[in-house]
A = this chain, B = another copy of it.
Amino acid sequence: MDKNTKFLIVGLGLIGGSYAKTLKKQGFKVAAITKNQEDIDYAVKHNIIDFGTTLIDEKLIKNADIIVFALYPHIFVNWIKENGHLINKNTIITDVTGVKTPIVKKIQNMLPCGVEFIAAHPMAGKETCGVKYSSSSIFKNANYIVVPTEKNTEKAINVCKDLGSVLGFKDISVLSPEAHDEMIAFLSQLTHCIAISLMCANDNPALVRYTGDSFRDLTRIANINDEMWSELFIENKTALLREMDAFKIAFDRLYSTVRDSNREEMRRLMRISTKRRKNFNVKKEC
């Protein structure tokens, strides 16, 4: 990857836009294909991309060295099904999709010979959507996960890692699709399920007058893109249900200690949570 590397971003939303903005700032050539002309107009005007189109522009696709797909899972799969044959041999394609097992091998099997798909997941985001909220800063201090299969070459894995570095991610890791989906079910999807349920559990609008930071922090992600997340939850259903079950067991255990006024057991659980949470503190501060 050098400054002549030509990027094509497919899907100019918050994440696609943030990739484009960061790459353009670093001096790369960045084009985009996305569905709304207004997003292209905005992105060109604000120097987020060099060029964009709402069409399946064959020349643009063939011209790209690296294509980044920032689409919902089923749209990504359909795009490759319909247009995958247009991608040039030696092009590397990558993605930002939040689930991997249901899509990675499917995409790899659909691609023309010589086109390599190396999956990745940037663990970054915001509670807003759209290219207008694009930002390079969301990648700082964030984790970037490369998700190869046995079909991937060392070369493509390294290009994908380099992309993570160029984008400014702090930690770059490698996980299998299965390990990724299990991890994401716990760290990301379960936390969103909890935040949604917490907001749905009480409809008293007066609460807002009394709330402290802990409630705000816990429910920040309850402001959720229902179209995207409902797809991610269902695509990762097996792992997510397993983590939801584990959480229910832990919550019920704490519930019993309250019901039975079992202070010793309650304190033991609190000490476990305090100890484990401290590891995450260290991580944040370093």
Contacts and interface: CB of A to CB of B under 8 A. Distances in A.
Interface stretch (A11-19, A29-37, A193-201): A193-201
B270 A212 contact: no
A208 to B, nearest CB: 5
A271 interface: yes
A266 B230 contact: yes
Contact of A202 (B186, B196, B224, B258): B186
Given A201-B247, A212-B188, A255-B244, A222 B273 contact: yes
Identical copies of this chain, number? 2
A193 B277 contact: no
23 contacts: A123-B210, A123-B211, A173-B209, A190-B198, A191-B198, A194-B251, A195-B273, A197-B247, A199-B272, A201-B251, A215-B280, A216-B280, A216-B284, A217-B217, A224-B270, A227-B267, A229-B270, A233-B258, A241-B255, A241-B259, A244-B251, A247-B251, A251-B251
A59 interface: no
Interface of A: 123-125, 142-143, 145, 171, 173, 175, 183, 186-188, 190-205, 207-224, 226-227, 229-231, 233-234, 237, 240-241, 243-244, 246-251, 253-255, 258-259, 261, 263, 266-267, 269-274, 276-284
A130 to B, nearest CB: 15
Nearest to A234: B261
A249 B194 contact: no
Contacts of A231: 263
Contact of A226 (B192, B213, B258, B270): B270
Nearest to A173: B209
Contacts of A207: 183, 186-187
Contacts of A202: 186, 243, 246
A270 to B, nearest CB: 4
